Amino acid sequence: MSIERTLNLIHNEFKMLEPMSKVLDIEEYTEEDFLASIDGGSKAFKVFKRRAYEEYKTLKFPAWKRVPLNKFSLKRPIPDANFELMGPKIYKRFFEMDESEEILAHSLDFQGSDRKFTLLADSFSTDGIIVRTEKAANYAETLICKFTSESQLASNLIIVEENSKLNMVFYTPGGDFSAITSRFLLKKGAELNLLFVNLSSAQSHHFSNNYYVIGEKAKLRLYDVNLGGTVVAPYHLVKTVGQGASANVKPLFFPVGNEKIDMLYLGRIIAPESSIEIEGIGTVTDSSKAVFRGSIEINKNAKNSSGNEHSSTIILSDKAIVQAIPGLFVDENDVNASHAASIGSIENDKIYYLMTRGLSESEALKLIVAGAFEPVFQEIKEIFDDEVIGGVRNVFSERIR
């Protein structure tokens, strides 16, 4: 079975070269470590993890350049998956997985930001959640999964059944390391509103790999709120496989100091009449760095589909760096596809206008930067609770200097 890859550089009889990166030499986890991690789990759980581990062993960690991985090392003891759950009781623990769930998880296998990180979580995590809604159920309460320890390794599987509707939050309030791999299946007519909040600390490594398969007329609204760290690498691959499927992806990011973040959002449109919109908004300042890879890929026969990607970033200081890599890959001409990236400082005209209303220069700057994020914060507040996002707004606000 082949996994869902990130790049697709083949067209008819042509192929293009895929760049290969160098690898790191890091002290690895051992077979003993692995055996300890599967202890106590169900048979299906053991099958799932053993398969992941066998492949994991053959790979090495990549020597990323844009956001360098040179300070990375594996943690000992092996991190657990500790989390608090609030909301509807529609979940079970990942280690309780049954055979059908294992087959499903295997069918939703994907490359991620690097196969090694995706498998790191799958191989060594001791837990995670499996969420399954009931058909046609509409959950008023938001399901909140809050990770509670300094370091986390977790694998998750979320199944939103036909015509059911769920709001869910993955919340990482801090911590210095996490590798979390999550697979999502939205069946026909399903609706999932999903919010990731990662308030990573300045010295931290976070690898979040996520793959979403969206069925007929199903809808995904995805909000991904990130700060930055030593290496923060969120990866979200959204694939519309059913006619009329749609996804709206809205990343927000704000690294400061020396923090770095390397994000990838890929919308892969397979089915006709489906649509994916990606809109990223961020700010960088001090010596921080943001790499934003937003891609739309429209496959042959995805007629009458639309894919649009847009990122806009404000740079507040001369030592900060933004690299925007918007990609547009189109194999079907009966579509509407576009991408755009805008990067810049705040226009002096806007600051002047606010100053003529009595705001000082720094107050004007703060208002404009906060204003850039505000429309999305507002959306988040309307869908989820004010509690979580209120805290985030404050964190973002404090970062504007």
- Determine which residue in the list 135, 304, 375, 401 makes contact with another protein, applying CB under 8 A: 375
Select the span of 14-22, 48-56, 219-227, 384-392 touching another protein (CB under 8 A): 14-22
- Determine which residue in the list 20, 22, 39, 71 makes contact with another protein, applying CB under 8 A: 20
CA 200 to CA 180: how far, in whole Å?
Answer: 14
Instruction: Give me the phi and psi of 327, to 5 degrees please.
Output: -120, 145
Residues ≥6 apart with Cβ < 8 Å to 108:
4, 157, 183, 184, 185, 211, 213
Q: How far is the CB of 19 from another protein (least distance, A)?
A: 5
Token pair 């996994």 in the structure block, residue: 3
What 3-state class would DSSP assign to 77?
coil
Q: Determine contact, residues 285/372, Cβ cutoff 8 Å.
A: no
Q: Which amino acid is at 169?
A: V
Select the span of 116-124, 200-208, 218-226, 319-327 touching another protein (CB under 8 A): 319-327
36 touches another protein (CB under 8 A): no
- Determine which residue in the list 350, 381, 383, 385 makes contact with another protein, applying CB under 8 A: 350
- Determine which residue in the list 338, 387, 394, 397 makes contact with another protein, applying CB under 8 A: 338
CA 143 to CA 93: how far, in whole Å?
Answer: 14
- Determine which residue in the list 13, 27, 31, 382 makes contact with another protein, applying CB under 8 A: 13
- Determine which residue in the list 134, 334, 386, 387 makes contact with another protein, applying CB under 8 A: 334
Residue 27: CB atoms within 10 Å:
8
60 touches another protein (CB under 8 A): no
Q: Which tokens sit at 276?
A: 């994916």
Q: Determine contact, residues 89/41, Cβ cutoff 8 Å.
A: no
- Determine which residue in the list 47, 104, 241, 343 makes contact with another protein, applying CB under 8 A: 343
CA 399 to CA 304: how far, in whole Å?
Answer: 42
Task: List binders of another protein among 271-300 (CB under 8 A).
Answer: 300
- Determine which residue in the list 153, 186, 256, 368 makes contact with another protein, applying CB under 8 A: 368
Q: How far is the CB of 21 from another protein (least distance, A)?
A: 10
14 touches another protein (CB under 8 A): yes
322 touches another protein (CB under 8 A): yes
- 143, 148, 151, 157: CA torsion to nearest 10: -20
332 touches another protein (CB under 8 A): yes
Quick one: angle between helices 43-57 and 31-38, nearest 10? 160
Chain residues binding another protein by CB under 8 A are: 2, 10-20, 300, 313, 315-345, 347-350, 352-361, 363-364, 367-368, 370-375
